[in-house]
């Protein structure tokens, strides 16, 4: 039985057990059903405020969190790092101490993961990682929700394959989500693009599932239920662009690659996509693609998280 999650941080998803993660996802489904039935405001968080700190620009993270809070009856406050005293040298510790006396939760989208950890360490309210260089737990919540929505609740019976950069923050969180839920993830990436050692350490400590690395993308996606990819060059990696494109070109998700998966396989991408690089138009716009439902589910998964952890 799941006890209250109130006051819990969400930095990597390892803050939650398998049972608790399933509970968050089931709550996501319930809130989505109520929304689609016309219940556009569910007054769970009336009078509550979420501070949203952005070091990096965003489309889905900002809009999904802001609408989620409003649809729960609460309020979201957008704060770019340049609008805060952080830009003038105030420490993260002092910023966390002050902001957490004004609001009921903090969501931050940062460059370095240590910043989100320090925010949580000095905050009096729950802190949510909206993205860091190592983790993207809210994306993984919506990914798990989408996989279950399309392929059933028994995620441990599915073959889920990530093709591309194995050191990607989205892959890291997908790896942890699938592992905590008891599933198996196949990672297809070239040498030098494996998951970060700190993520492997978390996986070994908290996951009950497993993962494998298969260098050949065609072997990796054979009979796959889910094929997932992400951009090859993330924000902050622009200087590595030429090398990354050269190394990852064999891992582009094409029609031929998808034909190696099961006939009813789905294609996933966290967006934004660099069409023609990690995926071709015929796949992301084709019969396999569920990326638009996946993007929509960001709001519903985050709405569940907010409803469950904000006191």
Whether the predicted pLDDT of 226 surpasses 90: yes
Token code pair at residue 276? 């023609």
Q: Indicate if 40 belongs to the active site.
A: no
Single out the catalytic residue among 109, 135, 196, 300. Answer: 109
Whether the predicted pLDDT of 285 surpasses 90: yes
Mean pLDDT, residues 85-100 taken together:
89
Contact in structure between 298 and 22 (CB atoms under 8 Å): no
Identical fold between 18-135+297-309 and 138-294: yes
Single out the catalytic residue among 9, 135, 230, 252. Answer: 230
Q: What percent of the chain has pLDDT over 90?
A: 92
Give the mean pLDDT of the chain.
96
Single out the catalytic residue among 244, 252, 298, 300. Answer: 298
Choices 3.50.50.60, 3.40.640.10, 3.40.50.1370, 1.10.4080.10: CATH for 138-294: 3.40.50.1370
Q: What is the pLDDT of residue 239?
A: 82
Whether the predicted pLDDT of 225 surpasses 70: yes
Q: Indicate if 230 belongs to the active site.
A: yes
Tell me how far apart the alpha carbons of residues 297 and 291 are, in angstroms, rounded to a whole number: 10
pLDDT-based confidence at residue 87 (cuts at 50, 70, 90): low
Token code pair at residue 179? 């592992």
Whether the predicted pLDDT of 279 surpasses 70: yes
Mean pLDDT, residues 287-309 taken together:
98
Single out the catalytic residue among 270, 294, 300, 302. Answer: 270
Contact in structure between 251 and 218 (CB atoms under 8 Å): no
Specify the DSSP element, H or E, that contains 77: strand 75-80
Whether the predicted pLDDT of 119 surpasses 90: yes
Q: What is the pLDDT of residue 240?
A: 85
Q: Indicate if 138 belongs to the active site.
A: no
Single out the catalytic residue among 135, 136, 196, 244. Answer: 136
Tell me how far apart the alpha carbons of residues 309 and 296 are, in angstroms, rounded to a whole number: 21
Contact in structure between 50 and 107 (CB atoms under 8 Å): yes
Q: Indicate if 109 belongs to the active site.
A: yes
Mean pLDDT, residues 16-40 taken together:
98
Contact in structure between 55 and 83 (CB atoms under 8 Å): no
Is-cis flag, bond preceding 272, omega within 30? yes
pLDDT-based confidence at residue 82 (cuts at 50, 70, 90): confident
pLDDT tens-digit series, residues 136-167? 999 999 999 999 999 999 999 999 999 999 99
92 vs 58, 190, 266, CA distance in Å?
21, 36, 41
Q: Indicate if 269 belongs to the active site.
A: no
pLDDT-based confidence at residue 84 (cuts at 50, 70, 90): confident
In the chain, where are the structural domains located? Answer: 18-135+297-309, 138-294
Whether the predicted pLDDT of 235 surpasses 80: no
SS3 159: strand
Q: What percent of the chain has pLDDT over 70?
A: 99
Quote the pTM value. 0.96
pLDDT tens-digit series, residues 236-261? 778 889 999 999 999 999 999 999 99
Mean pLDDT, residues 194-205 taken together:
98
pLDDT-based confidence at residue 305 (cuts at 50, 70, 90): very high
Q: Indicate if 270 belongs to the active site.
A: yes
Whether the predicted pLDDT of 292 surpasses 70: yes
Mean pLDDT, residues 12-28 taken together:
98
Single out the catalytic residue among 9, 104, 138, 139. Answer: 139
CATH code reported for the domain at 18-135+297-309: 3.40.50.1370
């Amino acid at each position: 039985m799941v006890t209250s999650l109130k006051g819990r941080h969400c930095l990597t998803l390892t803050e939650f057990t398998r049972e608790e993660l399933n509970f968050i996802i089931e709550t996501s489904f319930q809130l989505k059903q109520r929304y689609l039935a016309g219940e556009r405001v569910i007054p769970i968080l009336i009078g509550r405020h979420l501070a949203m700190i952005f070091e990096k620009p965003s489309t889905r993270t900002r809009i999904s969190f802001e609408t989620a809070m409003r649809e729960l009856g609460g309020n979201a406050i957008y704060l770019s790092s340049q609008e805060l005293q952080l830009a003038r040298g105030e420490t993260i510790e002092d910023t966390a101490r002050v902001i957490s006396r004004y609001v009921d939760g903090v969501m931050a989208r940062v460059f370095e993961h240590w910043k989100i950890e320090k925010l949580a360490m000095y905050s009096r309210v729950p802190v949510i990682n909206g993205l860091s260089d190592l983790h993207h737990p809210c994306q993984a919540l919506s990914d798990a929700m989408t996989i279950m929505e399309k392929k059933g609740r028994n995620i441990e019976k599915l073959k889920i394959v990530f093709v591309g950069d194995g050191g990607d923050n989205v892959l890291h969180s997908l790896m942890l989500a699938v592992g905590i839920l008891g599933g198996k993830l196949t990672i297809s990436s070239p040498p030098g693009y494996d998951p970060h050692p700190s993520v492997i350490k978390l996986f070994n400590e908290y996951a009950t599932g497993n993962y494998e690395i298969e260098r050949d993308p065609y072997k990796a996606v054979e009979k796959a239920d889910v094929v997932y990819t992400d951009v090859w060059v993330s924000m902050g990696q622009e200087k590595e662009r030429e090398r990354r494109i050269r190394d990852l070109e064999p891992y582009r998700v094409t029609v031929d690659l998808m034909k190696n998966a099961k006939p009813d396989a789905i294609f996933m991408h966290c967006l934004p996509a660099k069409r023609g690089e990690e995926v071709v138009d015929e796949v992301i716009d084709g019969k396999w693609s569920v990326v638009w439902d996946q993007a929509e589910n960001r709001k519903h998964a985050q709405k569940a998280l907010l409803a469950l952890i904000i006191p």
